[in-house]
């Protein structure tokens, strides 16, 4: 037994080369690594910090519980056209769990044999759990958002007026979470009206009774509620030259601003919130909490237990202090 323990400890000290590599479909087809495998698939995947977060959490779990000694999390660069084949291979090779990032969340939605009811109105899954008959699908992004808003801004989505910026995939998940938690009202702003109208139509049945409105980002209506939480779910802010997706001075009193973008950690929108003295936070805590919830689905370990380790690893991976 002591020999086995020291072998485990050595394995923990020396990360497997696949832990940081960007693997391909060919690597997956040839996959024969023993142990319990988890993976994230994306296109592109090079910048994902999920392997750093999950492997840090798994290493911490393994120190206390030998069941996790052979668990590992790797990343695969998978073209959308190859996703069905990749999911079949991952299932055949008995990967215990899979995370999906852009652009796979919607494509994978149609490839699960069972769906968490909370994921249905989102129309996208970011977490798959292996089962004999096929993949079970979940979406932990909404949980990540709600947890991050509570942790970083001290606010609950329930009972809060929310102004949501964007009408893409992340906005749809955020909107469903706000409605399912029964926010006081939800106001969605987008640059392109047609995309906004499609989203509003899809959201209408989610939470009857919760006021739901849309508006053009460039023309905020005069009846917007005072004291709202503003959530940015657009990609405006990924580049330093981007304009903020809305002018915060054109809104009534804003209670707080949450930007889903975390890299860069300071976006033009957050800079404006800072100068206006409004409480604000970037999206790293959301990434951490959705990851910890995924790991809970695969391991049974409560997300609250692994999130702190993931947060430290995520900040280190991004070079944040
Ligand atoms: P999509 O491509 O699906 O949607 C992009 C949205 O951003 C659309 O509403 C689009 O508006 C809007 N947009 C893009 N560029 C601009 C601009 N210059 N000005 C105003 N609006 C703009 O992307 P996702 O929904 O998947 O992702 C959105 C953001 O959320 C990304 O930055 C992503 O990194 C972040 N995210 C963070 C997560 C986290 O864990 N922290 C999780 C998921 C996403 P239009 O319809 O007019 O084109």
| pLDDT at residue 321 greater than cutoff 50 | yes
Q: Is the CB of 192 under 6 A from ligand 1?
A: yes
Query: What is the residue whose two structure tokens read 């380790």?
Result: 309
Q: Which atom of ligand 1 is nearest to the CA of 101?
A: 43
| pLDDT at residue 12 greater than cutoff 50 | no
Domains, the chain, in order of start with CATH, read: 2-139+285-317 (3.40.50.10860), 142-282 (3.40.50.720)
The per-residue pLDDT for range 73-95, each reduced to its tens digit, is 999 999 999 999 999 999 999 99
Calpha distance 77→226 (Å, rounded): 44
When pLDDT is averaged across residues 130-159 and rounded to a whole number, the result is 98
19 pLDDT band, cuts 50/70/90, is low
1 pLDDT band, cuts 50/70/90, is very low
**81, burial (CB in 10 Å: exposed 0-12, middle 13-18, buried 19+):** exposed
Q: Is the CB of 144 under 6 A from ligand 1?
A: yes
Q: String of b and e for 147-162 (b: at least 16 CB within 10 Å)? A: bbbebbbebebeebbb
Nearest-5° angle of CA 146, CA 311, CA 7?
Answer: 130
Do residues 292 and 310 lie in contact, with contact meaning Cβ atoms separated by under 8 Å? yes
Q: Which atom of ligand 1 is nearest to the CA of 238?
A: 32
Determine the pLDDT at residue 11: 42
105 catalytic per annotation:
yes
Calpha distance 47→31 (Å, rounded): 22
Q: Is the CB of 195 under 6 A from ligand 1?
A: yes
Determine the pLDDT at residue 16: 58
Alpha carbon nearest to ligand 1 atom 1, residue? 168
Calpha distance 150→184 (Å, rounded): 16
- Write down the catalytic residue from 14, 46, 94, 105: 105
* Alpha-carbon radius of gyration of the chain: 20
Determine the pLDDT at residue 240: 85
Tell me the whole-structure pTM to 2 decimals: 0.93
Q: Is the CB of 196 under 6 A from ligand 1?
A: no
> Would you give the DSSP letter of residue 50?
H
The per-residue pLDDT for range 156-199, each reduced to its tens digit, is 999 999 999 999 989 999 999 999 999 999 999 999 999 999 99
When pLDDT is averaged across residues 109-118 and rounded to a whole number, the result is 95
């Amino acid at each position: 037994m002591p020999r086995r323990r020291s072998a485990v400890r050595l394995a923990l000290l020396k990360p497997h080369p696949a832990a940081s590599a960007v693997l391909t479909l060919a690597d997956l087809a040839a996959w024969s690594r023993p142990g319990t495998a988890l993976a994230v698939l994306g296109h592109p995947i090079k910048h994902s910090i999920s392997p750093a977060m999950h492997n840090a959490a798994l290493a911490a779990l393994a120190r206390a519980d030998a069941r996790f000694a052979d668990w590992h999390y790797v990343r695969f660069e998978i073209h959308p056209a190859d996703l069905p084949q990749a999911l079949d291979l991952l299932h055949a090779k008995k990967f215990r769990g899979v995370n999906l990032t852009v652009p796979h969340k919607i494509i994978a939605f149609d490839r699960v044999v069972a769906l968490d009811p909370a994921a249905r109105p989102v129309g996208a899954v970011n977490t798959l759990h292996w089962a004999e008959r096929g993949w079970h699908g979940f979406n932990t992004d909404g949980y990540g958002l709600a947890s991050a808003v509570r942790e970083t801004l001290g606010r609950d989505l329930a009972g809060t007026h929310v102004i949501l910026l964007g009408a893409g995939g992340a906005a749809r998940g955020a909107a469903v979470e706000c409605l399912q938690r029964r926010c006081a009202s939800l106001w969605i702003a987008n640059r392109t009206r047609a995309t906004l109208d499609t989203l509003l139509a899809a959201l209408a049945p989610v939470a009857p009774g919760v006021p739901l409105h849309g508006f053009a980002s460039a023309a905020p209506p005069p009846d917007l509620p005072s004291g709202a939480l503003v959530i940015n779910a657009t990609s405006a802010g990924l580049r330093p030259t981007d304009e903020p997706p809305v002018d915060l001075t054109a809104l009534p009193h804003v209670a707080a601003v949450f930007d889903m973008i975390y890299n860069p950690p300071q976006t033009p929108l957050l800079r404006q919130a800072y100068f206006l003295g409004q409480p604000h936070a970037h999206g790293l805590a959301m990434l951490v909490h959705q990851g910890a919830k995924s790991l809970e689905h695969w391991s049974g370990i409560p997300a609250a237990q692994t999130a702190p380790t993931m947060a430290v690893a995520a900040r280190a991976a991004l070079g944040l202090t």
